[in-house]
Amino acid sequence: MRRSLAKAQSRLNTASISPHDTSGFDVAVALFSAVRQVSDEVLHAHEGKVGEISGILGAALGLDVEEVTALIQAASLHDIGKFAIPAKILGKTGPLTPEELLEIQRHPVNGAQILINAGYGPDDAAVQAARHHHEKFDGSGYPDGLSGTEIPLAARITAVADVYDALRALRPYKKPIDHKTALKIILEGDDRTRPEHFDPEILAALLAQQALVQAVWEEPTTATARPSRRQN
C-alpha cells in the first residue's frame, strides 16, 4: 500500500493534465485513496457523502448537469490536504493543542496545492472547494477570511455538506447524531456552528431537500462502521 501511495504521489508531482480532463480527477482520487488506506482515513466514506450531498444542493440551486458533476467531483476531494497531517492528530480524542489546530488548519491550502500540481487550474471547482470549504459566510473562517459571495459557490455548497456529515458521523471525540438534530444545529446554531456561517440560499436548499439528503447519508456502505477522523 505504501508503494501505491508513493506511485500516486509521483504521478501527482509529474502530471501535466488539463483541468477539464477527468484524468486529473483520477490522479487525485488515486492519491487520496492510497493515502486513506495507509492512514485508516474516514472509513465511512465522508468524502463520498459530502460529494453526493453537494450534488443534491447544487441541483436544487439550479446548476446544470455538467456543473453538478464537477461539483460532486470537487466536493469529493475537499479534504485531500489532510494526507499531510499526522494520524495521531487526526485521530486525537481530546482537545487539540494550538499547534495541532494550526496543523489541521493548513489542510485547505495544502489540498488546493495538491490539486494544482495534478493539473487543475486555480479557478477550478475542485481547487476552490479544497481551499475554501472552511471559509464562513460572515467572514470568520479560514484560510483567507473571505465572506459572502467572495467565497466560490463550490466551496459554499461543500461547507454545508461537510458540516452536515461531520455532525451526523461518529468521531473519535463525539457521538453520532440523528438527521433532525443535525439539521436543527445547522439552521439554528450551537457552540460548534452558527447559521450565519453559511450562504442562506444553500441553507434553504438543504431544508427543501432534507429528505433526499437524509436518505443519501443513511444509505448503507460496505465500509466497516468505525469512528472517522477529525473534521476541522
pLDDT (tens digit per residue) in 187-206: 999 999 999 999 999 999 99
> Is the pLDDT at 102 greater than 90, yes or no?
yes
Close Cβ partners of 111 (under 8 Å, ≥ 6 residues apart): 77, 78, 79, 80, 81, 82, 130, 131
- Cis upstream peptide for 143 (omega within 30°): yes
Looking at per-residue pLDDT, the higher value among 7 and 94 belongs to 94
Averaged pLDDT, 14-42: 47
Q: Is residue 56 included in any domain, yes or no?
A: yes
Q: Is residue 224 included in any domain, yes or no?
A: no
Q: Is residue 101 included in any domain, yes or no?
A: yes
* Number of structural domains in the chain: 1
Q: Is residue 232 included in any domain, yes or no?
A: no
Q: Is residue 192 included in any domain, yes or no?
A: yes
C-alpha cell at 58: 447544487
C-alpha cell at 155: 466551496
Q: Is residue 228 included in any domain, yes or no?
A: no
Quick one: pLDDT at residue 27?
A: 54
CA 34 to chain centre: 17
> Which tens digits make up the pLDDT trace of 144-160?
999 999 999 999 999 99
Q: Cα–Cα distance between 226 and 26 in angstroms, integer?
A: 26
Model confidence at 82, in pLDDT bands (50, 70, 90)? Answer: confident
Mean of all residue pLDDT scores within the chain: 81
Q: Cα–Cα distance between 19 and 84 in angstroms, integer?
A: 23
> Which tens digits make up the pLDDT trace of 106-136?
999 999 999 998 889 999 999 999 999 999 9
Q: Is residue 51 included in any domain, yes or no?
A: yes
Q: Is 174 helix (H, G, I), strand (E, B) or coil?
A: strand
Averaged pLDDT, 3-15: 41
Model confidence at 87, in pLDDT bands (50, 70, 90)? Answer: confident
Quick one: pLDDT at residue 5?
A: 38
Looking at per-residue pLDDT, the higher value among 24 and 123 belongs to 123
Looking at per-residue pLDDT, the higher value among 31 and 112 belongs to 112
Find the domain containing 67 and state its range: 2-217
Quick one: pLDDT at residue 231?
A: 58
**What is the CATH number for 156?**
1.10.3210.10
Q: Judge if pTM exceeds 0.85.
A: no
Quick one: pLDDT at residue 44?
A: 39
